[in-house]
Structure 1
């Protein structure tokens, strides 16, 4: 047994021994929580891989949720027949872990049990598990071992909801109503507690735990048995299928599908482009969060080709630009138009990520571009360059000098940079480029803009926002809106539209009235047109009052 795993199991044994005469872990009054230093570790990781996989991948339907509202015949066949045919003979955890490392993922979260109740590990709590299938091997153990070997920290997704338990106890299969919650069903809660204890004691160090449901009676088990684990959903903000419009305080994690489905969907799937995935990653990191990007394995255990292609292209970008993703925190503003910022924890390095929404004209090798950064001021020690290249040569073009230059002027830091590195056979690179600056300062303290509310009443939506900071003669304040059709980022294909703006030289509160189409859904953000740059508040949806 490896020394690290032996030491871990010994520490868990001692912890369990000490608890023999103690109250149950979930009943202890001691206020346990995520360790601050582990939250900082978590924030440093930047990019995690979410793996959704369960017994119903054989059907190619939505994971678990097809059971809600299903006929008795469907439910009985689901629970009886699917385990008999689940045999992921092409499952290669080592290959998947190598791909994850190549793609730039620093941690992984695996659906050990989704809402349907199927356990993807060798559990003693239920026969509805992977070890009671033709495959008959522990998938969780294999994944965790393979990912650790590649330096990718393994984590657990666990659903406290259990549709099989509800079905066996004569309860309607559904979620998020009081009568089916573990807190209202002692038997279900006891099952969850046993299963979480198994996962926290039999599989070595766990980096993160994602509770997709009631977590309050389960978190203490994690923090007692795995004190270095970070409980994500259930303890910190985990926006789903959406990136918040402004930074959230502390550690947070956006979880996002690569297409439209969490599990494997064999047809009619619409995948996000690599450009879209990079937009999401960059904007998440600029706002201080981690991106947990999902894949859904096929019933034979392999990864769909479309997902592998996107991960490999993501990996090529991360190989060049990961310094702008790992170990970074937000700059004083998230972005200046289509340039997004991240900054190293020690503040020595600033990354200006040129990420245009319009990729029709990619930045070609040998082309120079000029930018003005309003919020950045150079110092005598400042250096500048593009990540991945050396600023010395452009291959086959000896007459071109790719040297990066900068000049501080009253309106901002003027920089001149050229793409010199050849990353494809053609000269085109359709993905964001990262300008690396060292030893720079904040040019000024930007105003802080908030979207306070969007309240719908009597056919109108009253919008409230404010801004704080130094007076700004000539500034204007207003609101933007756009139509949405759901929670996924693909539902936000309509561009932002602008409501009339009003003079706002003085900080304070501002309001506007919007007349919606009753057939549409909207979201809103406040906007401040400052003389130096444009700043946005949080994105909010309308609430009815």
Structure 2
């Protein structure tokens, strides 16, 4: 009888009828939320002509599709590719994870897959670019993520199906057994041959595939396909649980050699601050050139972000939304543990180098143990100014926490550093605005 019971329990444990993992593990989601900032990499063979990645295949003529799938692989050969340079730049900028486009919608695989000849091994390059990139980022202790498109335009083309996005039943793997099997075979390669993968970004229908991915790597965090991942926008208010805003630095995801104005470094830093204040992660994209280098405009922006991060890194990682996201143009986050708040104050012309500014933070209640400092600056002197009072003063008051501070950290030769200054405020509590108190009082009175 005991043997029968043992066999029954063993069958339950190994049976395919066992409930599949249907969500990210909660502790892994908390780990992901701590990361805060990641690098998105859109790179494929059509970067050679500066086209929108993959989408030029949608609705295209048969002759164009033939040229796309035969001529572009014949010339893709990034001879200046150095993934260690990419990874080092990402680490300097404060990016704690990477998401690389292993397969975009075109179906071209940036690894030597056995599932289709439309892959990197059938180009002059022949390197396993996916492995090279993942290894380089691991060397910088950056978490590893892959972008994977369940929609596969080359598969549709080879099977004489209309090419588009979610416009035909056969575009959905759940309704197309052949496409589902094709995707699963590719996921098995990526999730068994490339070590631990931390994150997976499904850009398309993920049902059936994310569950399969969790079978292969249960600690995997599925981002798109499991959580909100808005593109080119930040939600108006904090969202519950983990989420991620995905942004380009220019106007396109892949390398665009012309007609591509870029954001400023200050724009990007402010996007990061707003995203973190609202509880999300920022996934910032680079589009490498076809020769394997990151274009100078994007490298320059990342180095500006890197300088800001060198000063202010503790305000970006392992933080959560404060009770309110901002007062006026001062944004807040709180440390995940303890009672420390970080206040992001606009710099540049709003608070220029070497000048004193006063703040009254009405929603912060200080006490005798409250300590205020400026990240990266000692508040003792301003270079070349003898006898200048650079001390920081803070006082709890009935109207909030009063702070007087000097912006004295010299980061540019011309003293025109335009980016936010961060106040670290320790041992502080939330002080509800008067309007909120009155509203609560009315509600309590009505009850």
Q: Please indicate the TM-score interval, normalised by the length of the shorter structure.
A: over 0.9
Task: Say whether residues 1:430 and 2:421 are aligned partners.
Answer: no
Q: Does 1:307 align with 2:298?
A: yes
Aligned to 1:378: 366
Equivalent of residue 194 in structure 2, options 192, 203, 213? 203
Q: How many Å separate the matches in 2 of 1:183 and 1:28?
A: 20
Name the CA distance, whole Å, in 2 between partners of 1:87 and 1:93.
Answer: 15
Q: Establish whether residue 471 from structure 1 lines up as the match of residue 432 from structure 2.
A: no
Provide the residue aligned with 2:108 in structure 1.
Answer: 118
Q: Which residue of 1 aligns with 2:261?
A: 270
Q: Structure 1 residue 311: deviation in Å?
A: 0.4
Per-residue Cα deviation, 1:437-460 (whole angstroms, up to 9, x for no partner): 10101112788xxxxxxxxxxxxx
Matched with 1:145 is 135
The CA RMSD measured in Å over matched residues stands at: 1.9
**CA 193–430 in structure 1, closer or farther in 2 if over 3 Å, else same:** same
> Matched residues in 1 for 2:250 and 2:15: separation?
47
Local SS of the residue matching 1:83: helix
Q: Distance in 2 between matches of 1:129 and 1:146?
A: 21
CA deviation profile, 1:230-284 (whole Å, cap 9, x unmatched): 1000111111110001000011110111111000101000111111111111100
> What is the distance in 2 between the residues matched to 1:79 and 1:277?
35
Shift of 1:435: 0.7
- 3-state SS, counterpart of residue 285 of structure 2: strand
Point out 4+ residue stretches in structure 1 off by more than 3 angstroms: 469-473
What is the rounded CA distance, in whole Å, between the counterparts of 2:324 and 2:421 in structure 1? 19
**2:53 maps to 1:40:** no
- Aligned match of 1:392: 380
- Tell me the SS of whatever aligns to 2:438: coil
Gaps of 5+ in 2: 1-10
Question: What whole-Å deviation, never above 9, does each CA across 1:127-168 have from its counterpart, x for those lacking one?
Answer: 100011111010010001000001111110000000011111
CA contact 1:178–1:184 (8 Å) conserved in 2: no
What TM-score does the superposition give when structure 1 sets the normalisation length? 0.76
The aligned length equals 431
TM-score norm. by structure 2 comes to 0.93
Describe the SS at the equivalent of 2:273. helix
User: 1:341-378 CA distances to partner (integer Å, 9 max, x unpaired)?
Assistant: 0100113311000137xx5x253322000011011010
Structure that is richer in strand per residue: 1
Aligned match of 1:133: 123
Retained in 2: the 8 A contact 1:43–1:327?
yes
In structure 1, C-alpha distance between the alignment counterparts of 2:342 and 2:172, rounded to whole Å: 45
Indicate how the Cα distance of structure 1 residues 131 and 156 shifts in structure 2: closer, same or farther if over 3 A, else same: same
Please list, as runs of the form range in 1=range in 2, the aligned pairs for 1:253-332 lying within 5 A after superposition.
253-332=244-323
Contact 1:119 1:130 in 2 (8 A): yes
Which position in structure 2 is the counterpart of 1:414?
402
In 2, Cα distance between equivalents of 1:397 and 1:470: 45
By relative contact order (CA 8 Å, sep 6+), the higher-ranking structure is: 2
Other-structure match for 1:350: 341
- Give the whole-Å Cα distance in 2 for the aligned partners of 1:249 and 1:237: 10
Correspondence for 1:190 among 169, 181, 187: 181
Indicate if the aligned counterparts of 2:99 and 2:147 stay in contact, CA closer than 8 A: yes
